[in-house]
């Protein structure tokens, strides 16, 4: 059929099964918004800032396992979205982001709201396109969705000049893609898999190192099976929280800069790292030359460039985690779980020596208590997003995650302002779950305008602001490494968060005691509108344990030992 | 780099489409790899182009470069050459007052000749391995070359 470029965008979205588009209109994208007005195949959610649109699409994608979709205009609309694209790229989130561009005749003339969008998005997307002919649009959009969701997922950006959205051409979405140059390798090499399983059978102190790729590959339950059959302990990266359930005996905890003592010691003592969909990030490894020094490394990843990038892999396996783990399970009988009895005992001792805990030794509430309490009250019934900083680490350490896609955070880029819009996307994707965003008094202000989005669309996200009147994580580093010179991190001057939420039509609570917190959370869930629960917490609490930047994993600063009250 | 940085030649076969070259060069600059030289031209009778990139790095860095290049969507193949025939061309402009015969003799030793004679200058062309081009350029210094242009290396696997 002959339709306009703008109509093609709508038709392609519908053909892809898109049910929600996050976005913000503007001059160059108006033709497409005109078609959005006329259609009812999907809902459009108007965020109040383009960055929030991308984060909302990310939250939607991470909670649903589908491709998130966002739409923005040219120039400032696009540049506002760049942080979101970079965030999605670093965390391998499948997105298709469509932006308007000035008409072809104006490209290169410094036209109004013109910027070289694909030039800017190139290093922070998996792929991008400038569409110069509407006849190419069906293929490009189909490729965009395909590339976003396959292989190592990531954001794909499609920039469409305004005249191309008006141009009429033939639309046929029922086409076979011919991507000669893009063929992700999804099936692991069987010989390598067999060799890896033999290495596992021979190892004395093997350790599963679980990464976010497992969640992308939807392989958590297969991985659980492999771990249970082999009885080999596991550590999770920040992005892998929820692959194993918090009550799994074989889950040690998170590892890395703020990982538990036992997790970091296990990684330092293991003789075989079984890396699944993890990328040996510097926040995980600490000093590379000391990382898992005595271990061989099995590394399964769909991205060949992630293998042996930082840590040499003795058993490299390129493939989709799910396929590889299913095949590993076929060789599992040669592994004798009893062989690791002593190793499991060692790890238990690590855990008992320095358990992941905190002291309730302050008049003000402890932030960790808040996270733990939410976990006790809501557990599996909530999806958790966070912003970036101390609260993020406490949420990762103390929330009892029980399933994949329950935990949604900005890991690679570390984007303050991610949490609230992401929580909106999460709630849209999973309306039956309570959407909790743990945030800080710094982060929440970075996308606070999303109160309006949540009120307008009746998206009842509960933001729990752990308020310590500081940019807490930077303050922690200043305290520890900059001789307490708290340069520009004191946030004593603050808005009234309760009134702020109310000004937009949401609800606000200020909480100073445990009792008040329970009441506020219960009330917020009942009222079912977007909420700020501001919790005044201990100002100088540090995230512990901590591996100082560039230090070895086994050299941790630990929580001081005290009699807990 | 902890281990030895070595000169390497990498060939990249890419779809000949808009902005593909900047994808490649962005990748090099963004990841801190260096480019010594880069040549690009369409492959006859196909929709592909071939880039020949001379770079330097340790074995690990070169492996990363190869993998990262391959990750780019329009990249079909990446060859990191071990056994290759490699050639580079150089054009050199000399004042006509220099000893043309000597220059011509030198050029012939480097697969070259004088290709243009003007009112005030002659232009000589040589084509040889990059290393030999360096030799040539140092040998002709005494003829006061006014301008030198090098093409960058192209290579084919044996």
Helix or strand run (H / E) with residue A532: strand A531-536
Helix residue ranges per DSSP H, A482-556: 497-504, 514-527
Give the rounded distance of the alpha carbon of A334 from its chain centre.
36
Q: What is the pLDDT of residues B124-141, one digit of tens each?
A: 999 999 999 999 999 999
Domain that residue B20 falls in = 6-82
Q: Are B49 and B105 in a shared domain?
A: no
Per mean pLDDT, which range of A500-504, B115-119, B154-158 is the poorest?
B154-158
- The domain tally of chain B equals 2
Nearest to A157, CA basis, from A193, A133, A181, A121: A121
- CATH assignment of the domain containing A37: 3.40.50.970
CATH number of the domain within which B119 lies = 3.30.70.1150
The pLDDT of residue B48: 97
Same domain, A197 and A166: no
B78 and B29 both lie in a single domain: yes
Facing A123 at nearest CB: one of B14, B26, B70? B26
Which of B58, B82, B106 is where one domain is finished?
A: B82
Distance CA(B36)–CA(B16), nearest Å, equals 22
Last residue of a domain, which of A120, A141, A170?
A170
pLDDT of residue B3 exceeding 70: no
Say how many domains are in chain A: 3
A118 touches chain B (CB under 8 A): yes
**In whole angstroms, how far apart are CA A306 and each of A149, A210, A370, B34?**
18, 14, 36, 20
If asked whether residues B138 and B97 sit together in one domain, one would say yes
B97 close contact with A: CB closer than 8 A: no
Q: Which of A16, A35, A50, A114 is catalytic?
A: A50
Residue B145 and residue B100 share a domain: yes
Model confidence pLDDT, tens digit, residues A429-482: 999 999 999 999 999 999 999 999 999 999 999 999 999 999 999 999 999 999
Low-confidence ranges of chain A (pLDDT < 70): 563-565
B67, B70, B75, B77: which to substitute to probe chain A, counting the most A Cβ within 10 Å? B67
Measured CA to CA, the distance from residue A270 to residue A279 in angstroms comes to: 18
- Compute CA distances A39 → A48, A98, A145, whole Å: 22, 17, 21
Active site residue A8: no
B33 domain-assigned:
yes
Residues of A in contact with B70 (CB under 8 A): 304-305
Residue A532: predicted pLDDT = 98
Q: Tell me, yes or no, whether B34 and B16 share the same domain.
A: yes
Tell me, yes or no, whether B135 and B122 share the same domain: yes
Separation of alpha carbons A102 and A111, rounded Å = 7
* B22 at A interface, C-beta within 8 A: yes
Please indicate, yes or no, whether residues B95 and B114 belong to a single structural domain of this protein: yes
CATH number at residue A317: 3.40.50.1220
Q: What is the pLDDT of residue B157?
A: 85
* Whole-number Å distance between alpha carbons of A391 and A410: 12
**Cα R_g (chain A), whole angstroms:** 24
Token code pair at residue A370: 């808040």
Same structural domain, B75 and B96: no
Cβ-defined contact of B64 to A130 (cutoff 8 Å): no
User: CA dihedral in degrees (A97, A100, A103, A106; nearest 10)?
Assistant: -90
A305–B contact, CB cutoff 8 A? yes
Nearest CA in chain A to B28: A123
The region, left, alpha or beta by phi > 0 then psi within -120 to 50, assigned to residue A432 is alpha
Q: Could you tell me if B63 and B90 lie in one domain?
A: no
- Give residue B1's pLDDT: 41
Q: Is A71 one of the annotated active-site residues of the chain?
A: no
A183 catalytically annotated: no
Tell me which residue range forms the domain holding A234. Answer: 190-353
Is the same domain home to B51 and B97?
no
- Same domain assignment for residues B10 and B78: yes
Size of interface A-B (CB pairs under 8 A): 37
Does B70 reach chain A within 8 Å, measured CB to CB?
Answer: yes
Among A136, A170, A204, identify where a domain stops. Answer: A170
CA–CA separation, A215 and B39 (whole Å): 41
- Cβ atoms of B68 and B27 closer than 8 Å: yes
Tens of pLDDT, residues A178-195? 999 999 999 999 999 999
Model confidence over B29-75: pLDDT tens digits?
Answer: 999 998 999 999 999 999 999 999 999 999 889 999 999 999 999 99
Cβ of residue B47 closer than 8 Å to a chain A Cβ: no
Q: Please report the pLDDT score of residue A560 as a whole number.
A: 85
Asked if A127 has any chain B CB less than 8 Å from its own CB, the reply is yes
- Residues from chain A that touch B68, judged by Cβ atoms under 8 A, are 305
What are the tokens at B16? 């000949």
Rounded CA separation A340/A201 (Å): 10
Based on the fold, state whether residues A202 and A314 are members of the same structural domain.
Answer: yes
> What predicted TM-score, i.e. pTM, was given to this entire model?
0.95
A554 part of a folded domain:
no
Residue tagged active-site, from A66, A113, A192, A218: A113
Domain end, chosen from B32, B48, B82, is at: B82
What was the pLDDT predicted at A82? 98
Residues of A in contact with B15 (CB under 8 A): 181
């Amino acid at each position: 059929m002959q339709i306009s470029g703008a109509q093609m965008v709508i038709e392609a979205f519908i053909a892809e099964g898109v049910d929600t588009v996050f976005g913000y209109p503007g001059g160059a994208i108006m033709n497409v918004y005109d078609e959005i007005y006329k259609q009812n195949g999907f809902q459009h959610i108007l965020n109040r800032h383009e960055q929030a649109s991308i984060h909302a699409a990310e939250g939607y994608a991470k909670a649903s396992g589908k491709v998130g979709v966002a739409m923005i205009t040219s120039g400032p609309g696009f540049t506002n979205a760049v942080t979101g694209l970079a965030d999605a790229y670093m965390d391998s989130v499948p997105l298709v982001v469509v932006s308007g561009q000035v008409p072809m005749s104006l490209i290169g003339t410094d036209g109004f709201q013109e910027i070289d969008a694909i030039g800017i998005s190139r290093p922070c997307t998996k792929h991008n396109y400038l569409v110069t002919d509407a006849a190419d649009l069906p293929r490009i959009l189909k490729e965009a969705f395909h590339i976003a969701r396959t292989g190592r997922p990531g954001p794909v950006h499609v920039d469409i000049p305004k005249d191309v959205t008006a141009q009429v051409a033939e639309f046929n979405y029922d086409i076979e893609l011919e991507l000669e140059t893009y063929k992700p390798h999804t099936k692991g090499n069987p010989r390598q898999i067999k060799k890896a399983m033999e290495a596992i059978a021979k190892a004395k102190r093997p350790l599963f190192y679980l990464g976010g790729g497992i969640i992308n590959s939807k392989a958590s339950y297969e991985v659980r099976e492999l771990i249970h059959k082999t009885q080999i302990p596991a550590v999770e990266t920040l992005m892998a929280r929820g692959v194993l359930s918090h009550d799994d005996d074989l889950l040690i905890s998170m590892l890395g800069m703020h990982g538990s003592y036992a997790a970091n010691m296990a990684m330092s003592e293991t003789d075989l790292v079984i890396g699944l969909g993890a990328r040996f990030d510097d926040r995980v490894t600490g000093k590379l030359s000391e990382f898992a020094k005595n271990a061989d490394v099995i590394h399964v990843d769909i991205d060949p460039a992630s293998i042996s990038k930082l840590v040499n892999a003795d058993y490299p396996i390129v493939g989709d985690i799910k396929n590889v783990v299913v095949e590993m399970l076929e060789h599992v009988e040669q592994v004798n779980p009893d062989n690791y009895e002593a190793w499991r005992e060692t790890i238990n001792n690590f855990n008992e020596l320095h358990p992941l805990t905190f002291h309730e030794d302050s008049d003000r509430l402890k932030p960790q208590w808040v996270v733990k309490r939410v976990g006790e009250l809501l557990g599996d019934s909530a999806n958790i997003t966070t912003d970036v900083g101390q609260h993020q680490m406490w949420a990762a350490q103390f929330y009892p995650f029980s399933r994949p896609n329950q935990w949604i955070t900005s890991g690679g880029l570390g984007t303050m302002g991610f949490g609230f819009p992401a929580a909106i996307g999460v709630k849209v994707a999973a309306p039956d779950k309570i959407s909790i965003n743990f945030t800080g008094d710094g982060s929440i202000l970075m996308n606070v305008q999303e109160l309006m989005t949540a009120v307008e669309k009746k998206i009842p996200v509960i933001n729990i602001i752990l308020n310590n009147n500081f940019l807490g994580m930077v303050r922690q580093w200043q305290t520890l490494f900059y001789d307490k010179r708290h340069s520009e991190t004191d946030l004593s001057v603050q808005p009234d968060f309760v009134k702020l939420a109310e000004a937009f039509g949401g609800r606000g609570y200020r909480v100073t005691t445990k009792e008040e917190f329970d009441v506020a959370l219960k009330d917020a869930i009942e009222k079912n509108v977007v909420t700020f629960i501001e919790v005044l917490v201990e100002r100088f609490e540090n995230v512990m344990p901590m591996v100082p930047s560039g230090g070895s994993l086994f050299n941790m600063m630990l929580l001081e030992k005290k009699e807990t009250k | 780099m902890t281990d030895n940085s070595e000169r390497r030649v990498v060939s990249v076969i890419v779809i000949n489409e808009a902005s593909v070259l900047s994808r490649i060069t962005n990748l090099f600059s963004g990841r801190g790899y260096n480019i010594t030289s880069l040549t690009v031209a369409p492959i006859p009778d196909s929709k592909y182009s071939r880039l020949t990139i001379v770079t330097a790095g340790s074995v690990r860095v070169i492996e990363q470069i190869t993998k990262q290049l391959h990750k780019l969507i329009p990249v079909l193949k990446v060859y990191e050459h071990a056994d290759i025939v490699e050639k580079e061309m150089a054009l050199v402009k000399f004042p006509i007052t220099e000893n043309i015969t000597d220059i011509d003799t030198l050029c012939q030793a480097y697969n070259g000749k004088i290709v243009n004679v003007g009112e005030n200058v002659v232009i000589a062309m040589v084509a040889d391995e990059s290393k030999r081009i360096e030799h040539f350029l140092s040998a002709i210094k005494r003829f006061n070359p006014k301008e030198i242009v090098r093409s960058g290396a192209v290579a084919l696997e044996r």
